[in-house]
Amino acid sequence: MDGDTLYTIGELARRTGLTVKAIRFYSDSGIVPPDGRNPAGYRLYGIEAVARLDLVRTLRELGLGLPEIRKVIERESSLAEVAQAHAEALAVQIRTQRLRRAVLTAVARRGSTPEEMDLMHKLAKLSEHERRRLVDDFLDTAFGGLDAEFAGARRSLTPELPDDPEPAQVEAWLELAELSRDPGFRALVRALAEHHSAQGGDVPRPDIVARARDVASAALEAGVDPASPEAAAIAARIPISEELLERAADPRWDRYQRLLALVNGWPPPQDLAGPLGWFRRARDGWHAGH
């Protein structure tokens, strides 16, 4: 048909696949204005209305609202600009839905109470700025007032949830956020940081805890029985206090580091709990013999 052909709403509906009600709505909204009326007063539309309605239907299927569609139709915004803005909005919605799915997954796995679910939901809804503030508050408690050399340690303990996280990363972030709010865990990390600070100078690598872990890991690999005299002799070579050993072997500290690695996409950290458990048993054997 040529460009002079005019269609009634019914004919336009059959041609485009849209309902008469939808076309009348778009017409009343000014998105697809009529080109005239027939003698009976019914609206008539030209071939351009067919093209407009095809575009409107496509944009609606992509989820755009009427204000955005109007801007495209009236050339106030290019289609590329509107598509980019909508893509960014969809990305936010997708991240939100992933956070919600992670919360529900965590609740289902852990059998959380309504109070715990409420807390997890609130944590999941935190903005990037709010997440940063929560982490900074935890790290300020751990390292505030200590020497500047702890800036590196602070960075190494900072979780950075990516813009497009996997569900497992979101769930790890939720658990990590809960852990960082625990006053007992905060006190534990502070005590470990103060121990490092008391040694003076740069934070040593490996420090005494790492040395205990390394010798215990080697002994475990060699199959040394922690109750044996050989194990007691190994433990005696590392002058680590029982208090520090107990703190370093706290399962919450090991858990934080594993969650941190998962959130940040790092390789899993070296096992700490197993070797330090061996070291503590070997230390008990050494004390029993002296």
CATH code for the domain in which residue 16 is found: 1.10.1660.10
Say what the pLDDT of residue 225 is: 95
pLDDT averaged over every residue in the chain: 84
- Split into its structural domains, the chain has a count of 3
Confidence check: pLDDT of 261 > 50: yes
Residues 186 and 229 in one domain: no
Residues 104 and 191 in one domain: yes
Say what the pLDDT of residue 115 is: 79
Angle at 223 between CA 218 and CA 227, to 5 degrees: 100
Say what the pLDDT of residue 275 is: 94
Confidence check: pLDDT of 117 > 70: yes
Distance CA 168, CA 262 (A): 8
Specify if 83 maps to a domain: no
Residue 47 pLDDT level (bands cut at 50, 70, 90): confident
Segment 31-54 shows an average pLDDT of: 87
Percent of the chain beyond pLDDT 90? 37
Say what the pLDDT of residue 195 is: 86
Is this prediction's pTM over 0.85?
Answer: no
Say what the pLDDT of residue 1 is: 42
Specify if 226 maps to a domain: yes
Residue 201 pLDDT level (bands cut at 50, 70, 90): very low
State the residue range of the domain holding 260: 208-288
